Structure 1
Amino acid sequence: MKWNIGASSSSSSSSPSSSSSGPVLIDPSLPTNHPAIPTSSINPPAECPMHRSTPPAPPPASGGGLAKCPIDHKNLDPSMNPLNNIPANLSLNRQPGQQLDLPTERTRSTIPRPSGENPGGEAYGTGSTWDYPSPQQFYNALVRKGWETPEDSVEVMVDIHNFINEQAWYEVMKWEKRLPGGENAQLARFTGRPGELSPKARMHLWLGKFFPNTFNTEPPFDRHDWIVTRPLPQSTTVPKEEASTRYVIDYYSAPPDEDGNPVFSLDVRPALDSLESVSERIKVSWEEWRNNNANGDGNGQ
């Protein structure tokens, strides 16, 4: 299924898609209080800068070799929050030589998070939902990674970062609402894995060599794994039992629209970690095929 979000209207399907969620058009009405800048300067970095403690790993040598997760999960930096691989204390201080004053206020997302003790505390929020990094924190992360970014582009990058993640959660909830208790789903933890292609992304790249008009010929610019929990119907023996699902999200860039607005494509689906996830993906693929035929796609309409 595909959905677009523009300045004046939006449309979406009520069911998830087993394929890419389609182009996400960044709304030009996003709240920004700074001059417009060229689209080319607001393209996202090669990965989300908030989720890595080391510079990007070089691509594998030509001729093969499996992608490797860039995070050493056996020797994680103790200063990193294990729920999101973000530094436990994101600095709000200006960088040496910084020319512009960047906002330090954080934006609260609509993505629920579990209550209870917060490892890393301020690294991901203290309320009932996750908090996005402030523009100053985002810029500090970029500088820490060694990326040169115009200071006047940071606020737009943060807006895009936040917007895309809101849309990712919207797609996750399409899947969750199909399951018991899914309407109360929460994002428990997440991690960025830009150095590791998902099996689906790898397969599409291979197919793209032979069918470039149908499959992706460029890899995703980022990948996230989101662990989502939902309460199961109450039981007399285990009243607080929860189910957990890992979602894989591949983020793709697409050509700008006719007005020059950046366009992104999200592929959001549950990982094939359980029979339930396998079953749901099969069901959605069948529903998508059935709906396409019901809409007359096979009748030349």
Structure 2
Amino acid sequence: MPSSSNSPQPGQSKPLSTWRQASSIPAGGEAPLPEHQPAHGVRSGVWTYPSEQMFYNAMRRKGWTPSEEDMTAVVAIHNAVNERAWREVRAWEAAAGCPAPTLLRFRGRPADVSPKARLLNALGYRLPFDRHDWVVERGGGREVRYVIDFYNGAPSPDMPTAMHLDVRPALDSPLALWERLRMQAGWVASGRWQRE
């Protein structure tokens, strides 16, 4: 994305913030070049989120008609959801013995339905509205790909926007299968599934 990605669009009704919030997600490996990570960047060793203007521009490029008035809330939700996804990745990594993972790269894949989501859909559940793949660096330089499916949750009066995240290692290796089975067994044994 050219440097104009943080510039107002023709016909935009009001200016939007160009400030970019730093995340809590540590960046691994070499800092990505701006043209390779257009909306998210790296600052002081952590990923930075897109500004309101960048988010608005990206939505316009994808053919949507975003409202400038909604951008503050949209960006806040986006950032909070990513922080929650990172907490879940860290829980998986801690269970695998890695206390300090870093995020190497990520990719949005909204048109690609994961095999698990297809299976759940065949059983009567709705498809996720979005999917991301995150590649995490585990200790010793090992890369682990995570699949994150984003589902709409049931809104409530105190939470008008609700989401469910399904975060798990991709089944790229026998070790990933073992980690998923072990984590699922622990989740069932703890009774946590009954409280959710």
| TM-score with structure 1 setting the length | 0.60
Q: Which residue does 1:287 correspond to in 2?
A: 186
Mapped to 2, the partners of 1:103 and 1:164 lie a distance apart of 20
Indicate the RMSD between aligned Cα atoms, in angstroms. 1.8
Secondary structure in 1 aligned to 2:43?
coil
Give the counterpart of 1:224 among 132, 138, 141: 132
Secondary structure in 1 aligned to 2:57?
helix
Q: Which residue does 1:197 correspond to in 2?
A: 113
Cα 1:244/1:260, change in 2 over 3 Å: closer
Q: Is the 8 A contact 2:31 2:42 kept in 1?
A: no
Q: Which residue does 1:113 correspond to in 2?
A: 27
Cα 1:117/1:148, change in 2 over 3 Å: closer
By percentage of residues, which structure has more helix? 2
Alignment of 1:35-184 (within 5 A): 87=1, 89=3, 91-120=5-34, 123=38, 124-180=41-97, 182-184=98-100
Q: Is the 8 A contact 2:27 2:42 kept in 1?
A: no
> Which amino acid in structure 1 is aligned with residue 177 of structure 2?
V
Mapped to 1, the partners of 2:30 and 2:4 lie a distance apart of 21
Q: Matched residue pairs, number?
A: 190
Secondary structure in 2 aligned to 1:159?
helix
Unaligned runs of 5+ in 2: none
Mapped to 1, the partners of 2:162 and 2:175 lie a distance apart of 32
Give the counterpart of 1:266 among 149, 159, 165: 165
Query: 1:289 Cα deviation (Å)?
Result: 2.1
Unaligned runs of 5+ in 1: 1-86, 209-215, 233-241
Secondary structure in 1 aligned to 2:95?
coil
Please say if 1:257 is aligned against 2:173: no
Greater RCO, CA 8 A, separation 6+: 1
Q: What whole-Å deviation, never above 9, does each CA across 1:132-168 have from its counterpart, x for those lacking one? A: 0000111111111221111100111000011100000
> Which amino acid in structure 2 is aligned with residue 279 of structure 1?
W
> Which amino acid in structure 2 is aligned with residue 283 of structure 1?
R
Query: 1:187 Cα deviation (Å)?
Result: 0.5
| TM-score with structure 2 setting the length | 0.90
> Which amino acid in structure 2 is aligned with residue 156 of structure 1?
A
Mapped to 2, the partners of 1:129 and 1:178 lie a distance apart of 23
Q: Percent identity?
A: 41
Query: 1:272 Cα deviation (Å)?
Result: 0.8
Q: What whole-Å deviation, never above 9, does each CA across 1:154-184 have from its counterpart, x for those lacking one? A: 111000011100000000000001223x212
Q: Is the 8 A contact 2:96 2:179 kept in 1?
A: no
Query: 1:88 Cα deviation (Å)?
Result: 5.9
Mapped to 2, the partners of 1:260 and 1:170 lie a distance apart of 20
Mapped to 2, the partners of 1:279 and 1:260 lie a distance apart of 35
Query: 1:127 Cα deviation (Å)?
Result: 2.4
Secondary structure in 2 aligned to 1:177?
helix
Q: Is the 8 A contact 1:118 1:126 kept in 2?
A: no
Secondary structure in 2 aligned to 1:130?
strand
Mapped to 2, the partners of 1:202 and 1:194 lie a distance apart of 14
Secondary structure in 2 aligned to 1:255?
coil
Q: Is the 8 A contact 2:152 2:163 kept in 1?
A: yes
Query: 1:260 Cα deviation (Å)?
Result: 5.1
Q: Is the 8 A contact 2:153 2:161 kept in 1?
A: yes
> Which amino acid in structure 2 is aligned with residue 255 of structure 1?
A
Q: Is the 8 A contact 2:93 2:101 kept in 1?
A: yes
Structure with bigger gyration radius: 1
By percentage of residues, which structure has more strand? 2
Q: Is the 8 A contact 2:22 2:43 kept in 1?
A: no
Query: 1:89 Cα deviation (Å)?
Result: 3.9
Q: Is the 8 A contact 1:90 1:137 kept in 2?
A: no
